[in-house]
Amino acid sequence: MKFNRYSRELKIGLVTVLTIVAFIWGFNYLKGKDLFNSQRTFYVVYNNVSGLMKANAVTISGLNIGQVNGLEFLESDPTKVVVELTIANDINIPSNSTARIYSSDLLGTRGIEIVLGDSPDGAKSGDTLRSDVAMSLQEEVNDMVQPILVKAGSMMSSIDTVITAVGEIFNYGTREDLIKSVESLRNTIANIENATKSIDTLLVTQRSRLVGIFKNVESITTNLEDNNEELTRIISNAASISDTIARSNLAGMIANLETSIANLTKATDKISSGEGSIGLLLNDEKLYRDLESSSKQLNLLLEDIRLNPRRYLQFSVFGKSKPYTPPVTE
């Protein structure tokens, strides 16, 4: 009976101990600690933990491998914070890896991401890792929005300036000028349209003539192509003639020609002034008339001799010749 009583109390105590152990294990498991697996502890020194708290997750490439176990000020420098990280022991972390604080969600929850290094030596429990702090989403948004706000403010001021300038430009006089310009442009377009219509009409009505012209042009080009050798020979001859002229004493010929022209000018000047026989003949009207009258008389005499040769040449064997009578003038 006594044994049964002790057995019951032993059972109750054992259940209580197991319950306490299960509670402690579950509580630590929920906090990320595994009492049945060995874990390593690393330390990181930050200038600012930026809202980091205990039990925040420690991840590698997004996979949760541990948690933040504690935060405290550095004894030698109170402006810095030492963060204790608890990481599962089977994760190989190079000694030059970096523990970077980042925002794990849009609400600003912070976490630590282990950026693995390339060192062949692995970090041991108790080592201090490199530190880095990434900007929060709000800070990134602020950094992105701030330049946009500055540009927007500058743009608004520019828009105000442009609106003011446009308001000054588009006054009554300017509007009238624009209306006249648009009207002139409309008239110009109408004239161009009429001109194009006239050109189209001309092309339609003169199509046969244009075809003939194009045929003639084609025929001319064909003839030029067929007589290419002849044209080449003519051009060669022209070049030869030009070379001959270039080699000749063209300057001397021109000088002689100028001298001859000067002498001829002098002679014509003398004739015009009445010098010499030719000058007297050309400029003396009385002499000209006398010569003209003498020429007429001589013509009459020669004509009378031709018509009446017996008056001037007498060959009579019998009888006398008739007396001379002057010819009758017409």
pLDDT tens for each residue of 252-279: 777 778 888 887 887 777 766 666 666 6
Identify whether residues 111 and 80 lie together within a single domain: yes
Q: How many domains does the chain have?
A: 4
Q: Which of 87, 105, 134 is the last residue of a domain?
A: 134
Q: Does one domain contain both 43 and 125?
A: yes
In a domain, 273, yes or no: yes
Alpha-carbon distance 45 to 83, whole Å?
6
Residue 257 lies in a domain: yes
The CATH number for 101's domain is 2.40.30
DSSP one-letter string for 264-303: HHHHHHHHHHT-HHHHHHHH-HHHHHHHHHHHHHHHHHHH
- Give the burial string for 201-230 (b: 16+ CB within 10 Å, else e): eeeeeeeeeeeeeeeeeeeeeeeeeeeeee
Instruction: Name the phi and psi angles at 120, rounded to 5.
Output: -75, -20
Same domain for 43 and 126? yes
Half-sphere exposure of 139 (CA within 13 A, CB side): 8
Are residue 257 and residue 223 in the same domain, yes or no? Answer: no
* Tens digit of each residue's pLDDT (9 = 90 or more) over 131-189: 988 876 666 666 676 778 778 778 887 887 877 777 666 666 677 777 888 888 888 89
Residue 45 has pLDDT above 90, yes or no: yes
Residues 42, 129 within the same domain: yes
Whether residue 114 lies inside any domain: the answer is: yes
Q: Which domain holds residue 19?
A: 1-30
Residues 266-323 have pLDDT tens digits of: 777 776 666 666 666 666 677 677 777 888 888 887 887 778 777 766 554 444 555 5
Q: What is the pLDDT of residue 178?
A: 77
Q: Contact at 8 Å (CB) between 83 and 49? A: yes
Are both 90 and 20 inside the same structural domain? no
**Does any domain span residue 186?**
no
Burial of 38 (0-12, 13-18, 19+ CB in 10 A): exposed
Which of 14-18, 36-40, 43-47, 315-319 tops mean pLDDT?
Answer: 43-47
Residues 72 and 9 occupy one common structural domain: no
pTM: 0.38
Q: Helix or strand or coil: residue 81?
A: strand
Q: What is the overall mean pLDDT for the chain?
A: 78
Which parts of the chain are beta strand (E)? 39-46, 57-60, 63-73, 81-88, 98-103, 110-115, 128-133
Residue 80: count of CB within 10 angstroms of its CB: 15
Residue 12 lies in a domain: yes
- Percent helix, strand, coil in the chain, to 5, is 60, 15, 25
Tell whether 97 and 115 lie within a shared domain.
Answer: yes
Model confidence band, residue 1 (pLDDT cutoffs 50, 70, 90) = very low
CB 127, CB 95: distance < 8 Å? yes
50 and 129 housed in the same domain: yes
